Structure 1
């Protein structure tokens, strides 16, 4: 029987490769080589499964990175370097874009993504505020850094992790 983590991991693969419309119990169970009963052993239906995907996305692609950045006290520049290293190491090309596309059609996903965006930008702002930046400047810098990462997911062909990291470091060195 596939574990709950297997279902979620494969769900991210399907979501990234084929989009949210492909997140069906049949497609997932075929991909995992298990019966649909395995799905119902872990989830109370697609709504519960979707919530599990979103919870893991929020945990691994937001909370995890913030925890990594905060692991060692220090100036904003070092905190942002650790944040960038964590984000680049955990970057799963296409997942963020797939989640954002899904959010355009699903209010549950949109609500979670809105919370994720707010948490990420608020965290960036807090780093700059701790560093003594003017609140208005901290607010705008946090948005600038954030839209660079999110916008990079919309570029075709996609920026490589190395290119995105280089762009982000260039901006960090200048602000």
Structure 2
């Protein structure tokens, strides 16, 4: 699919969005200037206008992944309507839709690339820390908050990495039970 923008109008964000799409669809080995430029219908020069080299692109791509799959979600949770329990909103968002295929792709990349592995470790730490803070804000002790956050995060990873889908009604039943468990008294 060709990008409708002229080559000189492509932004670094356009390249990064294409990179996330390519990573998800074709894997980390496709994250090179030539195939990305071809997919966007432009020359490699446009790529190098924004990124010094492929390594710089990879670093920016991992940063974009963090922004899209974690920081934007946290920011939206921080704006949750009054009366909403942010953890419940997070759980509905994480388990109520489709799995994060980009997370699977980045985690696969992390098995062979130290920079990707460091990014995955950092994002796991960020997500866990944020979940813990939500539980503490709900009145749970730090120890219980840490345990529940870890359990729910492991559950999320299992959901994300699983290749087995559930029918929507069954997925909704499981989500309701997960929310019940998350909110059970300590």
**Superposed pair shares fold, TM > 0.5:** yes
Change (3 A) 1:39 1:147: same
Change (3 A) 1:152 1:87: closer
Deviation at 1:154, TM superposition (A): 1.8
Task: Count matched residues.
Answer: 174
1:131 and 2:123 aligned: no
Q: Which residue of 1 aligns with 2:3?
A: none
Q: Which residue of 2 aligns with 1:15?
A: 23
Tell me, in whole angstroms, the C-alpha distance in 2 between the residues paired with 1:60 and 1:106.
21
Q: Which residue of 2 aligns with 1:157?
A: 164
Give the root-mean-square deviation of aligned CA atoms.
Answer: 2.5
On the 8 A contact 2:37/2:43 being kept in 1, the answer is: yes
Question: 109, 121, 125: which one pairs with 1:114?
Answer: 121
Does 24-33 or 132-141 show the bigger shift?
132-141
Tell me, in whole angstroms, the C-alpha distance in 2 between the residues paired with 1:22 and 1:134.
45
Change (3 A) 1:34 1:147: same
Q: Which segments of 5 or more consecutive residues in structure 1 lack a partner in the other structure?
A: none
Query: Could you list the per-position Cα deviations for residues 73-104 of structure 1 after superposition, in whole angstroms to 9, with x for gaps in the alignment?
Result: 767x7111332355468967411100001011
On the 8 A contact 1:14/1:23 being kept in 2, the answer is: yes
Question: 99, 107, 112: which one pairs with 1:105?
Answer: 112
Deviation at 1:23, TM superposition (A): 1.1
Query: Could you list the per-position Cα deviations for residues 52-86 of structure 1 after superposition, in whole angstroms to 9, with x for gaps in the alignment?
Result: 111111111111111111114767x7111332355
Does 110-119 or 64-73 show the bigger shift?
64-73
1:6 and 2:14 aligned: yes
Other structure's SS at 1:156 match: coil
On the 8 A contact 1:68/1:86 being kept in 2, the answer is: no
1:81 and 2:88 aligned: yes
Question: 169, 173, 178: which one pairs with 1:171?
Answer: 178
Question: 49, 54, 62: which one pairs with 2:57?
Answer: 49
